[in-house]
Amino acid sequence: MSDPPHEQPERRLALLLDHLSALGHDLRNPIASLLLGIQRLERRTADAPERTAALLARLERSVRGIDRLVETLLDLGRLESGRLELERQGEPVEVVAAQAVAAVAGLATEGRRSVQVAVPPGLAAPPWDGARAAKAVAHLLAPALEFTPLGGTVWLSASAHRGGVRFTVEDGGPPLAAGEAEALFGGTPFNGDPHTRRRGHGPFLYVARRLAEAHGGAAEARAGARGGAELSAWFPGAAGGERPAGGAGGA
């Protein structure tokens, strides 16, 4: 079966280059923050311990942000080259959820936002690569945290779906823009509108979708019941091969 027109090799190469450019640009912010923090530490050796501890905490968040960007670059390269290997250990659902939340803890702390997690007891885990699944869910949480007002809440839930598990992320931000749900996972790094959830998150959401598809699943976006956006990733119960990358998905 041939790729859809928008996934022809030339198109996918253009998307990859766009993603690399966007991620390279995003790397500048945490690196600049890291360098600035180091300079401040050099000048504040006699500061009160609590001020030094706060600065070190910010530096740690910057380093973790760089690590997330680098890991996303590596995953993007593996996915597009067909070299991604899944280690299907079937980790418990609650463990995958906890790993995803931990990956974005810095973002939540900076914005004084919280992530409320709901995983039903006894929910059977599919034969997934838990670390990859957690990355996909973390990529859904990041834009939700950014678009939720300061002090607000992001909701992460897991549920049984079509013989597997679906993670759903709901935010408290503004509604999706017209046509945004259909294009959100399509790989557009930036469409010129600073108020859409694609701003700066296109590569991450694209990788989230591709990680779900690598398990045989899908990702999708829709208007959330709480007025914001609802992003979801579905991982099937039966191990499947990587599916061709499609549009916004159909979880």
20-32 pLDDT tens trace: 656 555 666 676 6
Q: What is the CATH number of the domain that holds 97?
A: 3.30.565.10
- Residues 65, 131, single domain; the answer is no
Which pair of tokens denotes residue 97?
């959820």
Please tell me the total count of domains within the chain. Answer: 2
What pLDDT, on the 0 to 100 scale, is given for residue 162? 92
pLDDT above 50: residue 231: yes
pTM of the model: 0.73
Nearest residue to 229 via CA among 141, 113, 118: 141
CATH of the domain at 61: 1.10.287
What per-residue confidence (pLDDT) applies to 204? 83
More confident: 178 or 46: 178
DSSP symbol at 112: T
Instruction: Specify the 3-state DSSP secondary structure of 103.
Output: helix
The single-letter DSSP state of residue 4 is: P
Give the dihedral sign, CA 22/24/28/34: positive
> What pLDDT band is residue 250 in, cutting at 50, 70 and 90?
low
Residues 69 and 143 in one domain: no
Is 109:211 a contact under the CB 8 Å cutoff? no
Give the C-alpha separation, 160 to 123, whole Å. 7
- Please report the pLDDT score of residue 240 as a whole number: 47
Looking at residues 2-11, what average pLDDT do you find?
54
pLDDT in tens, 96-117: 999 999 988 887 877 789 999 9
**Secondary structure string (H, E, C) spanning 61-93:** HHHHHHHHHHHHHHHHHHHHHCCCCCCCCCCCH
